[in-house]
Structure 1
């Protein structure tokens, strides 16, 4: 198996740290982690892809690991458009015209947005839990009580107490989320310490808090991204070939029996529900994730 090489690229807002596997001239694949995770989620996926000749890029999202903002004056935004814009600028900086994308949670949101708004940039999409675009104008509508209960951490982050709690207890709080969201996975205690250092980024708390406040309209977004946010309000369809991987044991959003997202996908689309898998899909189910990627790449 090939070894990852840590590299950096500078975009308009960020200096992005990313792990590179495989040949520079290989077909590009970009693997995107979520909150509160890191590129370690793809430790069993990136090397075999690289061994097959693919160019594999695994970035640290804004607020994670070695990725840094270029200016102290830049809003530490965690809004969905910022994550998508980061992905686009990463691709531009690395001269990647088109890539196959794989992401879950925050990373899945970035991948879905780019696939929806810039389909010419995406060869194929593996998305964790389907259609990840936030419907912010309708976020005020309550969900069923069980779903609201699972979102306790989001409401916690809306308060000053939650900001202080995440600041003081970031590792303990994130480890609790791992346990709650992947309740049947036996490797939480083993794998969490490998990702935890990524949360020591100086912007982690501010980016996380902004993300969970913006999606409920409790914090303003970056004015430079308003155009993209307006486009996302229309909940655009995704037309690129897509495989959705859903964890049957996901503690934050269990996969429903019926596919409620299918109407958002207008191209080749397949949903695969993974038994015994929680929220951390690529790390819990690397074999299934790798297969989904190869199914798209080898079409």
Structure 2
């Protein structure tokens, strides 16, 4: 496997690892991975953007790869506010006043939150599956059975058995999720192994378990982040130009015919449905991700 240069920056909560491509003085683009993935999802997205003169940063989220908490006193939270605060802290630590954001799953959630609560810091947004901000107050309401069974892993993580299972079998469990969520993507063991290295982080299990418990109200959040969570409960509108990418073969949930959260975007918004693409959008359809970022940054079709 190719050796990659990994950079680190200190934030209030993390020794945050990231990879960087392109000129340091280029306009910033930050690419954010989800669960259970890592920056390898963007290996065919970051270089084309860097070749166009953008400064492209791909961080390892908390609990992944070389990213570490600064001390034992920092709560190993996986809540949505923590992911957004980490992104904001990264930008502040690197003196990035404004950036284009692209992400899916956990990373898409962080990007959506920053675009909603700090729109002056976001020039454009590419989000996997539209409006990704959790409505925790409504999460106690059951979904249709067809949707509920796809979330089995979340309910598994609510139990002691699920925590033990993720601890003992994280590589096999995450490999299963890749297969279920991207049923038409020919995943090889070699490709999976490159990302699976990031799941050996000592805080991976704690962060993942907390994420899936907090979003249903089954675990308390980090008190330092409560003000952000309070703002998110109002389901704020996103007021930056945005493109949503949706994989039509997504095993977590096939996109609905009509976007149910369209009203949460008040500026330019376009939804692009991707045939033959599952949940891991940038790794399965990197060209679509690159095109979406460039279309927004160039003003094409806006």
Q: Is it true that 1:22 corresponds to 2:22 in the alignment?
A: yes
Q: Kindly state the Cα deviation for residue 5 of structure 1 after the two structures are TM-superposed.
A: 3.5
Q: Kindly state the Cα deviation for residue 165 of structure 1 after the two structures are TM-superposed.
A: 0.1
Q: Kindly state the Cα deviation for residue 193 of structure 1 after the two structures are TM-superposed.
A: 1.1
**Where does residue 295 of structure 1 map in the other structure?**
295
**Where does residue 143 of structure 1 map in the other structure?**
143
8 Å contact kept, 1:13–1:74:
yes
2: distance between equivalents of 1:111 and 1:127?
A: 7
Q: Kindly state the Cα deviation for residue 32 of structure 1 after the two structures are TM-superposed.
A: 0.1
8 Å contact kept, 1:178–1:188:
no
1:223-265: CA deviation from partner (whole Å, max 9, x where unpaired): 0000000000000000100000000010002111111121110
8 Å contact kept, 2:38–2:60:
yes
Q: Is it true that 1:60 corresponds to 2:37 in the alignment?
A: no
2: distance between equivalents of 1:141 and 1:259?
A: 20
1:149-186: CA deviation from partner (whole Å, max 9, x where unpaired): 00000000000000000000000000000000000111
Q: Kindly state the Cα deviation for residue 187 of structure 1 after the two structures are TM-superposed.
A: 2.8
2: distance between equivalents of 1:51 and 1:5?
A: 18
How many residue pairs match? The answer is 297
**Where does residue 229 of structure 2 map in the other structure?**
229
1: distance between equivalents of 2:294 and 2:190?
A: 28
Instruction: Give matches, 1:136-175, under 5 Å.
Output: 136-175=136-175
**Where does residue 214 of structure 2 map in the other structure?**
214
1:269-295: CA deviation from partner (whole Å, max 9, x where unpaired): 000000110000000000111000100
**Where does residue 259 of structure 1 map in the other structure?**
259
**Where does residue 193 of structure 2 map in the other structure?**
193
* Secondary structure, aligned partner of 1:5: coil
2: distance between equivalents of 1:260 and 1:251?
A: 18
8 Å contact kept, 1:130–1:245:
yes
1:104-133: CA deviation from partner (whole Å, max 9, x where unpaired): 000000000000000000000000000000
1:15-71: CA deviation from partner (whole Å, max 9, x where unpaired): 100001011100000000000000000000101111111100000000000000001
**Where does residue 111 of structure 2 map in the other structure?**
111
Which portions of structure 1, spanning 4 or more consecutive aligned residues, are displaced by more than 3 angstroms? none
* Secondary structure, aligned partner of 1:294: helix
Q: Is it true that 1:100 corresponds to 2:81 in the alignment?
A: no
**Where does residue 125 of structure 2 map in the other structure?**
125
CA RMSD of the aligned region, Å?
1.0
8 Å contact kept, 2:179–2:187:
no
Unaligned runs of 5+ in 2: none
When normalised by structure 2's length, the TM-score is: 0.97
**Where does residue 40 of structure 1 map in the other structure?**
40
Instruction: Give matches, 1:241-260, under 5 Å.
Output: 241-260=241-260
8 Å contact kept, 1:100–1:123:
yes
2: distance between equivalents of 1:272 and 1:131?
A: 14
Q: Kindly state the Cα deviation for residue 190 of structure 1 after the two structures are TM-superposed.
A: 4.3
When normalised by structure 1's length, the TM-score is: 0.98
Q: Kindly state the Cα deviation for residue 199 of structure 1 after the two structures are TM-superposed.
A: 0.2
2: distance between equivalents of 1:4 and 1:129?
A: 30
Unaligned runs of 5+ in 1: none
* Secondary structure, aligned partner of 1:196: helix
Distance 1:297 1:4, change over 3 A: farther
